[in-house]
Chain A
Amino acid sequence: MTATAERPASTIFRRPKSTSGFWGWVTTVDHKKIGIMYGYAAFFFFILGGVEALLLRIQLAQADSEFLTAGAYNALFTMHGTTMIFLFVMPVSSAFINYLLPLMIGARDVAFPRLNALTWWLFFFGGIFLSSTFIFGTSIPPVSPDGITGNLAAGGGPGSFNFLADSPDGGWFGYQPNAGPLYSPGTAMDYWALGLQILGLASLISSVNFIVTIFNMRAKGMRLLRMPVFVWMSAVVAFLLLFSLPIIAIALFMVTFDRQFGTLFFAPVGGGDPILWQHLFWLFGHPEVYILVLPAMGIVSEVLPVFSRKPLFGYSAVVFAGAAIAFLGFGVWAHHMFASGVSPVAQAAFGLATMTIAIPTGIKIFNWMGTMWGGRIRLTTPMLFAIGFVGMFTIGGLSGVTHAVVPSDWQQTDTYYIVAHFHYVLFGGAVFGLFAGIYYWFPKLTGRVMSPRLGKLHFWLQFIGFNLTFAPMHWLGLQGMVRRTWKYAPEMGLEPWNIAVTVGSFIIATSIAVFIYNWRHSRRHGEPSGLDPWDARTIEWTIPNPTPEYNYAHPPTITRLDEFWHMKYDEDEEGRAVRKPDADEMINQLEYDGLNPSGPIHLPAPTYFPIVMALGIPIAFYGIIYHTTAWGKAMILIGALISLSAAIGWAIEPLEEAPTEHHDEIEEPEEMVLDE
C-alpha cells in the first residue's frame, strides 16, 4: 500500500509504531484509549471539584464562620463550578461518547481519529493551564473609591486557605465588569478566560468529529431511527456544542481583550455594556446545561430497557423530545437574566419559552416510566442509578418550572433555591446517570463486572448524602440564604439545616470513596463478565469484553432497532420475549468470531502531531497573559510556531501507516527517516 505522491520524501520525526505502553497511549488515535484517558482525567477533576465543595461546606456549616476568607470563598465557588462543569461533566460525557459511539454504530473508530486525539490533548493541557492559576494566578484586591484597599482577601487565621485568594474569583459565569480588569485585576481571571477558551476549542472540534461520525460511519442497515438513543443524544449534544461554543469563544475573547489590551466592551466607565456579557454568556450557558445532561439521559435510555427487560417506551418520542429540548434550549437563555433589568416583553417571552421545555422533558420522563411499567425489573447497580436519575431529575425539573414563573424567579434568584435546582438536575441528574453508565459499561472496558455489593453501598450512600445535601437548600433559599456569599448571620436561623447539608456533603464524599475502591478492586478481582453480562439489547454487546482493539472483527449488518436483543429473543403470541434455544451458542460464536478476524484490519496509525499541536496553544496563551514582558511575547511566538509546524506535519502525514499486528502478513513498517 504505497501511495506515490501521497508520501513526502521525508519528515523530521520517525512515525511512532507502538500501540501499547506509555508512548502507545501518548500517540494513540484509538477512540477507546482516548475515551479512557478522558474518563480518568475527568474523574480526577471530579475529586478536585468535590474537595472545593467540601471546603465551602465547612465554611457554611457555621454562621459567621471565619474558616475561609471572603476571597478564598469566592475562589472556591468559582473553581468548584468551573471545574465541575468544564473539567468533569463535559469531559466525562466525552469519555462515554468517545468510547461508545463507534461501537454503537458498528464502526472501527470516529471519522477523524487524529483530531480526536487532538481534542483530548487540548483538554488535558487546557485543564492544566486552567488549574495552574492556583500556582501562578494573582488576584489583586481592587482599591475602593475612598482609597482604602477593599482587601477582604487578607487576614484569616491558620487554615484560612489564603492562597486561594489569588485564584479566579469571578464566579464560573464571570459576570462583567466584576470579573474585568477594574474589579478583578491580576491574572487569575485571565487564566480562567483563556483556559476555558482552550477547553471550548477541544469541544468544538469534538462536536464536528462526532457529527460526521454519526452521519457517515454507521454500519450497513443502521438507519438513523435504528440508532441507540445514546447515539441520538450524542448527535444532539454535538449540535448544541457546535452552535453554542463559538458564542462563548467570542465573549471570552472580548473579556481577554478588555483585561489585556484595553478594549472597552464591558467597562461601563468607557461606555461598555455589562448586560452584553450576560447575553453572550447565557446564549452559550443555557445550551450548555443541556449539553451537560443529555448524554446522561441517553445513558438512562439504554440502561432502563435492559433492566426492565422491555424495549424503550416510545423510542421515536424520546429521540424527538431530545432534539426538541436542544432546539428550544437555544431560545431561553434570558431566563438567567430575569433579575438583570431586561424588559417586561423579554421576560414574558423567555418565561413562556422556558415553560415549553417542560413538555419534551416530561415526555422523556413519562416514557422512561413507561419503560419500567410492567417490566421485570432487575435492581442492579446501573439500574439503581438510572432510576435515581429519573427521580432526582424530575425534582430538579419541577423547581426549574418554578423559575420559569418570572415574579417567583425574582424571589429565588441568588438564593440557595437556585443552587438546589441545578444540583438536582446536574448531580441528581447528570452525575447519577453517568454512574449508571460507568457500572453498566465497565465490562466493555475491563471484561469484568463491578462488585454489586459495593455498587449498592455506593448508590445508597450517594443517594442519601445527595438528598441530605441539596433538599434543605430549597427551603434555606426560600428563607433567604443568599448564594455566592461567604457567610450568613447567626440570627437568620439558617445554621441547623446548613449543618445537615454539610453532613450530607461528607456522606457524598464517603460514597465516592466507596466507588473508587470498587473500581480499583473490580478491575483486578471483579467477576469475569463474558460477552453479554446484562442480557443487553444493543450491538456494542455483540463483541468480546474487553473490547478488541479493532472493535468489530466483521462489520455488522443491522436490520432493526435493538438488533442484539432480536438476535437472542423471539416473541410469542402475547408479545412476550422468548429466548431462542440457540441464543447461548450464538453468543459463544460471537465471542469466537470477535476475537478471530478473518483478514487483515487496517487501523489508523499512532502519531505525535496531535499532542505537539495541542502543546503549542497553552504556551502561546501563557504568553498572552504575560505579553507585556519580552519572554511573554516570545512564548506567544514559540507556541504559535509549535502548533503551526505540527499542523503542517499533520497535513502531510497519511492517516494510515504500516498495518497493525492483527494481520497475518506483517509488512515492514515504513519508517520516515531524515532526508539526505
Chain B
Amino acid sequence: MSDLAHDQVVAHHDEHESTGIESRKLGMWVFLSSEFLFFGALISNYLLYSNRAGFDGIYPAEIYDIPFTSVSSFVLLMSSLTMVLAHHALSRDDQNTARTWLFATAALGSVFLGGQVFEFTEFVVEHDMTLSTNPAASAFYLLTGFHGTHVAIGVVMLLSLWGISRRQGGLSFRQGLNLELVGLYWHFVDIIWIVIFTVVYLLSSPPG
C-alpha cells in the first residue's frame, strides 16, 4: 500500500494540481472555511439572546451543568487525539491500528452525543426549558443542536470508513485520503465546540 504521509503525491494520473494540494483536500478546507460563517451566525444569535432581559421562562445559563459539560468537552477533545492517531497509523500503513483508532474516535464522538442527549433531556424534563420557552432557549438549542448534528454526521462517516476498512482488510490510498478529509471535518467540529464551551457555557450568564 502506498504511503500517505506526503500530501504532495498526485492522487490520480489525470489530476495535475496547479496548487500542489490534492483537490479533495483543498475542497474540504474551502468548505470548512465557509462553516465559520455558519456557526458564527448561530453563536451570534445565542449572544444576542442569551442574556436579554425580560423573557418569560428559564434562561439556559441558569441551568448549565458545568462539571458535566466539562467532561463532555474533554471527551470530544480526546476524540481529536484518537482521530489524528488513526490518520498517523494509516500513513504508516498500519491498517489495524488505524481501524482501532477510527472506532475509538467514533465511540468517543458517540459518548459526546449521548452526553448532549442527556443534557437536553435534563433541560426539558427537569427544568422545563424547551425550544419555545424563550429566544434564549431557542438559540441555545439551535446552536448546540446543529453542532450535535455535525458530530453525528461525523460519527456516521467514521463508522463508514471503519466498516469499509474491516470489510476490505484495509483502506486503499484513495480511501485513506477520505480518512484525512473526515479527520479535518472532525477536528473542525471539535474547535467549534472549543468556542461553544467557552462562549456559551463558561462565559454567558442570565440577565440581572
Contacts and interface: CB of A to CB of B under 8 A. Distances in A.
The answer to whether A and B touch directly, with their CB atoms under 8 angstroms apart, is: yes
Interface of A: 3-6, 8, 108, 111-112, 204, 207-209, 211-212, 215-218, 222, 242-247, 249-251, 253-254, 257, 261-265, 270-273, 276, 280, 602, 644, 648, 651-652, 654-656
Q: Name which of A112, A244, A251, A254 has the most chain B CB atoms within 10 A of its CB.
A: A254
Closest 8 CB pairs of A and B: A263-B138, A246-B38, A262-B132, A250-B41, A246-B37, A5-B172, A216-B17, A264-B135
Nearest to B17: A216
B14 A212 contact: no
A111 B27 contact: yes
Interface stretch (B62-70, B162-170, B189-197): B162-170
Contact of A271 (B27, B134, B141, B160): B134
Nearest to B174: A6
A208 B41 contact: no
A271 B131 contact: no
A7 to B, nearest CB: 9
Contacts of B31: 208
A250 B42 contact: yes
B26 A216 contact: yes
Contacts of A8: 164, 167-168
B172 A211 contact: no
Contacts of B127: none
B138 A250 contact: no
A584 to B, nearest CB: 32
A257 B27 CA distance: 30
Interface in B20-55: 21, 23-24, 26-27, 30-31, 33-35, 37-38, 41-42, 45, 48-49, 52, 54-55
B30 A211 contact: yes
Contacts of A216: 15, 17-19, 21, 23, 26
A257 B38 contact: no
Contacts of B9: none
A613 to B, nearest CB: 14
Q: How large is the interface on B (under 10, 10 to 19, 20 to 34, 35 or more residues)?
A: 35 or more
Contacts of A263: 131-132, 135, 138, 141-142
B156 interface: yes
B178 interface: yes
B139 interface: yes
Nearest to A213: B23
B171 interface: yes
Interface in B48-106: 48-49, 52, 54-56
A111 B28 CA distance: 12
B135 A250 contact: no
28 contacts: A4-B172, A5-B170, A6-B172, A207-B34, A208-B34, A212-B27, A212-B30, A215-B26, A216-B18, A217-B15, A217-B16, A242-B34, A244-B37, A246-B35, A246-B38, A247-B37, A247-B38, A247-B41, A250-B38, A257-B138, A257-B142, A261-B131, A263-B138, A264-B134, A270-B55, A271-B135, A276-B48, A651-B160
A280 B41 contact: yes
A661 B38 CA distance: 44
Contact of A243 (B16, B23, B34, B48): B34
B114 to A, nearest CB: 20
A257 to B, nearest CB: 7
Given A218-B18, A644-B156, A265 B26 contact: no
A249 B35 CA distance: 11
B138 A264 contact: yes
A273 B48 contact: yes
Contact of B14 (A108, A112, A207, A644): A108
A261 B145 CA distance: 13
A111 B178 contact: no
Interface SS of chain B:
helix
B21 A652 contact: no
Contacts of B1: 5
A4 B169 CA distance: 11
A264 B132 contact: yes
B26 A271 contact: no
B168 A265 contact: no
Nearest to A644: B156
A308 B182 CA distance: 50
Given A208-B30, A262-B130, 12 more contacts: A8-B167, A212-B30, A216-B18, A216-B23, A217-B17, A243-B37, A246-B35, A251-B41, A271-B135, A276-B45, A655-B12, A656-B14
B33 A242 contact: yes
A644 B155 CA distance: 13
B29 to A, nearest CB: 9
A222 B178 CA distance: 29
Contacts of B134: 264, 270-271
Nearest to B163: A648
A422 B49 CA distance: 34
A651 B42 CA distance: 30
Q: Name which of A216, A247, A265, A655 has the most chain B CB atoms within 10 A of its CB.
A: A216
A652 B27 contact: no
B190 to A, nearest CB: 19
Nearest to B33: A242
A265 B175 CA distance: 42
Nearest to A218: B18
B132 A253 contact: no
A242 B23 contact: no
Q: Name which of B18, B21, B132, B171 has the most chain A CB atoms within 10 A of its CB.
A: B18
B178 A651 contact: yes
Q: Name which of A212, A218, A243, A244 has the most chain B CB atoms within 10 A of its CB.
A: A212
Contacts of B169: 5
A271 B54 contact: yes
Contacts of A253: 142, 146
B183 to A, nearest CB: 15
Contacts of B35: 246
B39 to A, nearest CB: 8
Nearest to A652: B164
Contact of A215 (B16, B19, B37, B42): B19
B166 to A, nearest CB: 12
Contacts of B156: 644
Given A111-B23, A644-B156, A270 B135 contact: yes
A216 B20 CA distance: 8
Nearest to B172: A5
A276 B49 CA distance: 11
A262 B23 contact: no
Q: Name which of B130, B138, B170 has the most chain A CB atoms within 10 A of its CB.
A: B138
A276 B139 CA distance: 12
A208 B21 CA distance: 14
A587 B138 CA distance: 65
Contacts of A602: 14
Q: Name which of A8, A243, A246, A251 has the most chain B CB atoms within 10 A of its CB.
A: A246
Nearest to A105: B18
A633 B172 CA distance: 38
A254 B48 contact: no
Nearest to B55: A271
Contacts of A654: 174
B55 to A, nearest CB: 5
